[in-house]
Structure formats: C-alpha cells, structure tokens
Amino acid sequence: MASAATLFFILLSSVFISTTSIAALAPSLQPSPHSLFATILSNLGFQDLSSATADANLSIATPTTIFATTDSSLLTCPSCSIPLLLQEHSLPGLYPLHFLRTLAFGTKIETFAPNRCLTITSTHSATSFATKKVFINGVEITKPDLFNNGLLIIHGLQGFISHLSPLSCRVERMTSLSYPRNLPPIAAFVMMRLMLKDAMMRLRISGYSVLALAMRVKYPELSDLKSMTLFALDDSSIFAGGSGHSYVADLGFHVVPNRLLMAADLVSLPKGTELPTMEKGQNLVITTAGGSGRLAPMRINYMKIKNFDMVHNKKIVVHVLSMPFPRLNPTAFARTEKSRLGVSENGVVFDMIPPLSAGISSTVDDINNHGGL
C-alpha cells in the first residue's frame, strides 16, 4: 500500500514538473511582439521600418494604428531616427480610413511617442465622401488599410516626413513642424506649399479663419515665394471694425515676400527701415523701433505689433496687428523725420515737432482719435 502511495506521488510529481517545464518553454517558442511587427511591415514592403521595430518598443497586445512611411520617403529625412519616427507615426487605437475621413479638420491625436501628436487633415470633396484624401501632418495616405486584423491597422504614407515638434499637441501655441536642415532639391521645391498648408490650418483653428481663406485665394501667388512674413488680424478684429474688410482686400500689402522676419529680426531693425510688400512700389516703414519695452512698443506704419511669432514654421512667420496698416509715403515720412529733429548749438539732437505731422494718410489720425493703437 505504501509502495502504491509512493508510486502515485512520483507520477503526480513528474506530471507537475513536465507541465511546469512546458509552460517555461512556451514563451521561447512564441514569436516576440517585435518580430510580429517586423514580419508584417517587411511583407508589406516597409523594410526600414521593419528593422526598427525592436527599438521602437511597440506592443502587439495594444490595438495600434501605424502610418507607415515608404523607404523612399525616409530618405527625405536622413538625420531622423527611424525608431522614433515609427513611434511618432503609431497611434494607440484603431483608425481605419473611413473613420479618419470623419474627423474634424486639424484633429490632433497623441502618438506612442511621449508628448507628440499627429495632425489629421483632409480635402473637401464636393462629389463623394469616398474620394476624400486624408493627410497625416501634411503627408497623404496613399495606401489606406494595407493591413487590418482587428488589432493592428497599417496605412501607407508617401511624402516628405520629419520628426514631430515638442509642441505638436498644443493648439494655443502655434509653432513649426520640425523639418531637416538639408533638404533634397525636390523637397525644397514643394516645401513652401507644405508650409502654406501648415500655416493656413493652424490659423484656421486659432481664430484667423478669414485670413486663412484669404491666403487660400492668393495661394498661387504665395506658393511662388521662397518665404514670407505676414502681419495678421484675427476674425474678431476684422468683423468688429469698419476697416477689417480693407485688410482682406489689401492682404498683399501685409505680406513681406521672400523674407522670414522673426521677432528678433524685426526688433533689431532701426527706425525708418523700409520693408517691401507684395504690392509693387508700396513699402512698409518701421515708425517705432523695437526693444523699448511695453511703454514704447514696436510700430510699423504707426500700427502696434500685438503679438510676435504667433504662427511660424520653416518658411512662414505670422505677427498679429491691432489694426490694418494705413498707407504711408516713405519719402514723406523720411522728410518729416528730418524736419522733426533739430540740432542745438552744442550739437545735441532734440525734437522740434510731434511725429505725426506729415507723410501718413488721414486714416492714422482717425485711428489715433479712436484709441485703435
């Protein structure tokens, strides 16, 4: 009896040990999540992304959507980290194309990269919902729904890519997407168009929809520029004042073409500096130089700059005005400034007359009387 009990104990122990051994060996026999990602991406033709899956540390256990960039697209960003790009172009959750088409223009979705968001935009199709094109940070989804097994969706992207900005999740602070410094020739050719679309989208969702629409109307002219500095009015300023409509009509007068003048560049310009505009022969003039603090803010054509660098990217910078620029005769302004300044017997320069005496239209006087500055 004792021998039978001993035999039963031995058999039970051997079964337990065998089960434990099999369970311990099972994980080594199962493919890792990284190898599953790598195999799927490789089979779809994304070889560079496939080799970066281990370093990207994505989990197959979480429903995931990947916006996969082609190997040729990765060549447009030679300095980029491919594992980080894979994280930045991967979202938690399932986003098939038909759902992406329903999202509001400019929707931001957080990626697996910490504090990085992708911006979803789309074209307006007047004919059919099914023909709507969807863009991920300005790059078109050219091969939608390449893979969908209920846990993983992969879309194919074709275009110029870059790392996401640290402020890509913040709508209230409009900044640039982060683009590589050394661009291929073809990238330089289309960059202005990409930057225009980026700026228009950001302006539209920040209370400058009228300006964004005006830029769309002038898109053929603006897209030919190498860069530009734009002085903007928000929607409330355009609709509130009687002069707002003139801003839209005179948008070209508020654009400095082929110059990217950030805040530091503007405040360094001396008084009297002329800035060319898109209207031939019509220049802007620095009437009050920057750097004097809040009590003496910088003014161009006597209009105060309310906010510098409100939107900026690699090719475009937008500064905010209090009111549209009035027309100013630069020659008359220079003559007025000379007559306004006198020299005393000991060589000290002093003011002789107030600054707003000549060289500007009556519009400025009206603005001054109504506290528009």
Averaged over successive runs of 10 residues, the pLDDT of the chain (373 residues) comes to: 49 44 42 73 92 83 87 88 94 89 86 90 71 88 92 90 85 46 50 84 85 89 92 87 72 95 92 92 89 76 90 90 83 60 44 41 42 43
Cα dist. 231→61, 114, 161, 308 in Å? 49, 34, 28, 9
Task: Note the pLDDT of residue 56.
Answer: 85
**Spatial CA neighbour of 299 closest among 327, 321, 277:** 321
Same domain membership, residue 215 and residue 134:
no
Q: Which of left, alpha, beta for 262 (phi over 0: left; psi -120 to 50: alpha)?
A: beta
Task: Note the pLDDT of residue 11.
Answer: 44
Which of 107, 141, 158 is a domain's end point?
158
In whole angstroms, give the CA distance from residue 228 to residue 222: 8
Cα dist. 68→41, 156, 163, 226, 363 in Å? 8, 5, 14, 30, 55
Same domain membership, residue 145 and residue 43:
yes
**Spatial CA neighbour of 202 closest among 317, 294, 334:** 317
Same domain membership, residue 148 and residue 49:
yes
Same domain membership, residue 143 and residue 214:
no
Residue 222 lies in a domain: yes
Task: Note the pLDDT of residue 205.
Answer: 80
In sequence order, the β-bridge partners of residue 303 are 300
Residue 42 lies in a domain: yes
Same domain membership, residue 206 and residue 115:
no
Same domain membership, residue 224 and residue 91:
no
| Residues 6 or more apart in contact with residue 107 via CB below 8 angstroms | 119, 120
Which of 108, 141, 158 is a domain's end point?
158
| Residue 277 lies in domain | 185-327
Phi first, then psi: what are they for 262, rounded to 5°? -75, 175
Instruction: Give helix 209-217 / helix 185-204 axis angle, nearest 10°.
Output: 140
Same domain membership, residue 41 and residue 130:
yes
Q: Report the Cα 117 to chain-centroid distance in Å.
A: 11
Angle at 261 between CA 256 and CA 264, to 5 degrees: 150
The CATH number of the domain holding residue 193 is: 2.30.180.10
Same domain membership, residue 309 and residue 213:
yes
- Count how many domains the chain has: 2
In whole angstroms, give the CA distance from residue 262 to residue 318: 9
Residue 303 lies in a domain: yes
> Global pTM?
0.47
Same domain membership, residue 102 and residue 191:
no
Same domain membership, residue 322 and residue 192:
yes
Residue 67 lies in a domain: yes
Residue 369 lies in a domain: no
Same domain membership, residue 316 and residue 192:
yes
Block residue for tokens 């870059």? 162
Residue 203 lies in a domain: yes
Residue 12 lies in a domain: no
Residue 175 lies in a domain: no
Same domain membership, residue 88 and residue 154:
yes
